[in-house]
Amino acid sequence: MNRKTFNSTHIGAASIMLIFMVLSLVSFAALTMVNSRADFILSRKMEDRSKAYYAACHEANAFIAESASHIKRAYDVSSSEQSFNDFLGDNSFTKSFPLTDIQTLDIAIEAKYPRFNEDPLYQITSYRVVTHDEKIELDETLPVLKQE
């Protein structure tokens, strides 16, 4: 009687496939955790930046309202453009509101004597975020391959 022998390698293939699947799931889970942590940190930074920006905008709007009332008072008191300019002195109002250590929100308002009653008394000439630190160096290199 001839006995047929079977060489069984299928049991090992299933184990290797299971190990590969577990390693894949663990590595994807780790990548997901790292990515979600980076997104969380970025969200925090953006939240802090947004809060600082809107706080500065709130202060800037108060400055604009205060300047507008001062310009309105000058217009009510003055009888001509010359007396309006004399009352105000300098026709421009500027102020900076801090956002971060290196950025400010700069506001500039210019008073205008209206030619007609419906003309505005002032014009906002600048409302922008300015970076003041010139020492910032952006690293735009990509160290993929070191050449010696």
For residue range 80-125, what is the model confidence (pLDDT) as tens digits? 888 888 888 877 899 999 998 888 999 999 988 888 878 888 999 9
| pLDDT (0 to 100) of residue 7 | 63
How far is residue 110's CA from residue 93's CA, in Å, rounded to a whole number?
6
Helix H or strand E encompassing 128: strand 122-131
Confidence of residue 8 (pLDDT cuts 50, 70, 90): low
Question: What gap in Å lies between CA 64 and CA 81, rounded to an integer?
Answer: 21
pLDDT score recorded for residue 80: 83
Burial category of 56 from C-beta neighbours within 10 Å (exposed 0-12, middle 13-18, buried 19 and up) = buried
| Total length of the chain | 148
Cβ–Cβ under 8 Å, residues 91 and 85: yes
Verdict on whether the full-model pTM lies above 0.75: no
Does pLDDT of 9 surpass 70?
A: no
Confidence tier at 27 by pLDDT (50, 70, 90): very high
The proportion of the chain whose per-residue pLDDT surpasses 70, expressed as a percent, equals 89
At residue 79, the 3 state secondary structure works out as: coil
Triad 123, 95, 80: Cα angle to 5°:
40
Distance CA 113, CA 146 (A): 64
